[in-house]
Homo-oligomer: A and B are copies of this chain.
Amino acid sequence: MTQVKFLPSRKKASVDPAATIAEAARRAGLALELPCGGKGTCGRCRVTIVSGDVVRYSPPPEGAAPEEALACKTAVGPSDCVIEAVEHDLAAEDRGGDFSEMEIPYKSAGPLVEEHRIKVPGPRPDDGLSDFDRTNRELGRNFGTDRIKWDLSAMRSLPEELRIDDGILAVYACKGDEGISIAGARSWKSRAKNLGVAVDLGTTTVSARIVDPGEGLALSEMTGYNDQIHCGEDIISRIHYAARPGGLAELRQRALDTVNRLIAGALERCGAAAEDLHCAVVSANTVMTHLILGLLPEYLRLAPYTPALLSVPEMRASDVGLALNSSGIVRFSPSVGSYVGGDITTGLLCTDMATAEDIALFIDVGTNGEIVLGNRDYLLTCACSAGPAFEGAGIGCGMRAMEGAVNSVSVDKSSGLPTPEVIGGGKARGICGSGMIDLIGELFLSGWLDRSGRFERIRQSPAIELEGRRARYRLAEGEKTLIDGPLFITEQDIDNVMRAKAAVYSACDLLLGHAGIGFADLSRVYIAGGFGKHLSIANAITIGLFPDIPEERFSYLGNSSLEGATRLLLSKEAREILIETAGRMTYINLSDEAGYAERYSAALFLPHTDLESFPSVAGRIRKAK
């Protein structure tokens, strides 16, 4: 075994010779950034070899020093080695929130699991009924059905619970299409709380919110990064990772660990325990749903992009591996297609698209952009690959929207100099998605960026540095940053954002084309995803990410996946709407759409090749001149 020591963390691992440095880092518990999942393509896992012999399977990254190497494509040798590796910032602490002081306007009408007080008559020598028989007879009277499903765990505790409080039980019951599922039964005297948990299992970010369905209250929540990030940052890298030996099991365990950690944290915040949780609604995209269930997502990646399943049968917490009461009921939101998942069907619950006559557009922008168009009569949906630019990846100094990120910028028209705003108010460490949108919009309107996303080369600005055919923009001076030097934005960075915005816009455009309507026909555009909070709608329209319609028609939904999952715990109507809408959503696979590539190319300009479709932007351009 070869000893590998990492600096400056001093973390250590002992690995087989020929293991990669990335593998050693994983063993050592050191978080490396591996957005590409270890394929050697992203260059983000660069480390410095301090001592020891290593074997490089790929050339060093461009501009790298000789002692630098990619951790995923470099193997340790038989001799011990010391590696300098900056730990990835993903180990940032989970963030918690409490709702105790807030009035949450939920109407609880038909919670997923309800507590019922029943009195089971004591055993009699003459009727020959078992504990289970007597309890089921009583439940049958209450619910008007003899289809009552128990799991072994609840069955095991029943005899004792019946005898604690003279047969008076608190029964936690979930009514479904096929009868009643018992999520737990406790003596009334020692009954648990009746809580549920809404889980938004995102590719990057995961949230768990504890809900009291009886009171219609959210009690607490925790949000943190998905531990799977160490296996690849986007969905495609996760699918590749799952195909490795042991990869699927690892991804499943990492998803469970993440969710269970956040559930435990949220429970602690509201003073409740796992046994108080009798149900969970998990809202996740199709790939995440596959991974947490241990289903191989491989065929989602290969034409014709077939999911193993779209609708998940009702499960028990112990089957899935979630840390609720072990008999707890777990529902997964149904997916519609390979890349339009349960997070979207759930997110729609935060809109009135299922019931309204007016036509609306729902856009969830993340690494993938998911779009839904329609009303009570029809719903079209598709997903486009925006790439990680809006989440700060794919940008030289990109980062997520957290402390130290430039999230808003204004540009002085005459000098081209920026005035960046930094989250937290301190020095800048990078730029997040909404900052990039602001920056590009401002540079474009002030004439320092042309419609193809190239910097002005004739007029000179102290902020634009030319070097041969290349140009870059100085976003923040060295003394105002937390990194070793100024923050630069390159034309490549801008190009990445333009490709992302073109992917989203042209997908919207295509859906509208299918419906035979124009953007002006939209009564409302819903913006979902964490991204919304810092976003300037005006600049998003300016760069051509969003359609050019009046700003007041846009609504921020925030984390609609988590919010929708909360509603599913609380309301029978929400659960019925979910099934109804998921059942009638028409999934359009962009890779089969001849018109998509053309629309995409047309959208690769600021704001678009067809300026007439962006009249307000055209007006502002004229005004700026």
Q: Which residues of A contact B (CB under 8 A)?
A: 123-126, 128-133, 147, 149-152, 155-156, 158-160, 163, 178, 293-296, 298-299, 303-311, 313, 315, 319-320, 336-337, 587, 589, 592
B306:A131 contact, CB within 8 angstroms: yes
Contact of A295 among B129, B156, B587, B589 (CB under 8 A): B156
A150:B337 contact, CB within 8 angstroms: no
B130:A309 contact, CB within 8 angstroms: yes
B307:A130 contact, CB within 8 angstroms: yes
B294:A130 contact, CB within 8 angstroms: no
A125:B305 contact, CB within 8 angstroms: yes
B307:A149 contact, CB within 8 angstroms: no
- Give chain B residues whose Cβ lies under 8 Å from the Cβ of A307: 130-131
A159:B299 contact, CB within 8 angstroms: yes
Quick one: copies of this chain in the complex? 2
Residue in chain B with minimal CB distance to A305? B125
Contact of A308 among B159, B299, B303 (CB under 8 A): B159
- Give chain B residues whose Cβ lies under 8 Å from the Cβ of A304: 123-125
B123:A159 contact, CB within 8 angstroms: no
Per the bound structure, the CA–CA distance linking A290 and B126 in Å amounts to: 21
Per the bound structure, the CA–CA distance linking A299 and B128 in Å amounts to: 13
Contact of A130 among B160, B306, B320 (CB under 8 A): B306
Per the bound structure, the CA–CA distance linking A159 and B308 in Å amounts to: 6
- Give chain B residues whose Cβ lies under 8 Å from the Cβ of A320: 152
Per the bound structure, the CA–CA distance linking A130 and B303 in Å amounts to: 13
5 A-B residue pairs with CB within 8 Å: A123-B299, A123-B306, A131-B299, A156-B293, A159-B298
Per the bound structure, the CA–CA distance linking A294 and B154 in Å amounts to: 11
Per the bound structure, the CA–CA distance linking A124 and B178 in Å amounts to: 30
B305:A132 contact, CB within 8 angstroms: no
Contact of A296 among B159, B178, B336 (CB under 8 A): B159
- Given A155-B308, A159-B298: A336 and B150 interface contact (C-beta under 8 Å): no
Residue in chain B with minimal CB distance to A296? B159
Per the bound structure, the CA–CA distance linking A131 and B307 in Å amounts to: 6
Q: A125-B304, A125-B592, A130-B309 provided; 5 other pairs, C-beta below 8 A?
A: A132-B310, A147-B178, A152-B294, A155-B309, A159-B298
Residue in chain B with minimal CB distance to A148? B313
A152:B299 contact, CB within 8 angstroms: no
Residue in chain B with minimal CB distance to A337? B128
B132:A303 contact, CB within 8 angstroms: no
- Give chain B residues whose Cβ lies under 8 Å from the Cβ of A315: 152
B125:A309 contact, CB within 8 angstroms: no
- Give chain B residues whose Cβ lies under 8 Å from the Cβ of A128: 336-337, 587
A313:B123 contact, CB within 8 angstroms: no
- Give chain B residues whose Cβ lies under 8 Å from the Cβ of A306: 123, 129-131, 159
- Give chain B residues whose Cβ lies under 8 Å from the Cβ of A319: 151-152
B131:A308 contact, CB within 8 angstroms: yes
B125:A303 contact, CB within 8 angstroms: yes
Per the bound structure, the CA–CA distance linking A131 and B308 in Å amounts to: 5
Shortest beta-carbon distance from A619 to chain B in Å? 42
- Give chain B residues whose Cβ lies under 8 Å from the Cβ of A159: 295-296, 298-299, 306, 308
Per the bound structure, the CA–CA distance linking A309 and B294 in Å amounts to: 33
In order of increasing CB-CB distance, the 6 nearest A-B pairs are A123-B306, A132-B309, A125-B304, A130-B307, A159-B308, A130-B310
- Give chain B residues whose Cβ lies under 8 Å from the Cβ of A294: 152, 156
Per the bound structure, the CA–CA distance linking A156 and B128 in Å amounts to: 42
Per the bound structure, the CA–CA distance linking A128 and B313 in Å amounts to: 18
Shortest beta-carbon distance from A418 to chain B in Å? 46
- Give chain B residues whose Cβ lies under 8 Å from the Cβ of A305: 125
Shortest beta-carbon distance from A36 to chain B in Å? 24
- Give chain B residues whose Cβ lies under 8 Å from the Cβ of A156: 293-296
A309:B131 contact, CB within 8 angstroms: yes
- Give chain B residues whose Cβ lies under 8 Å from the Cβ of A132: 308-311
- Give chain B residues whose Cβ lies under 8 Å from the Cβ of A131: 299, 306-309
- Give chain B residues whose Cβ lies under 8 Å from the Cβ of A299: 123, 131, 159, 163
Shortest beta-carbon distance from A164 to chain B in Å? 13
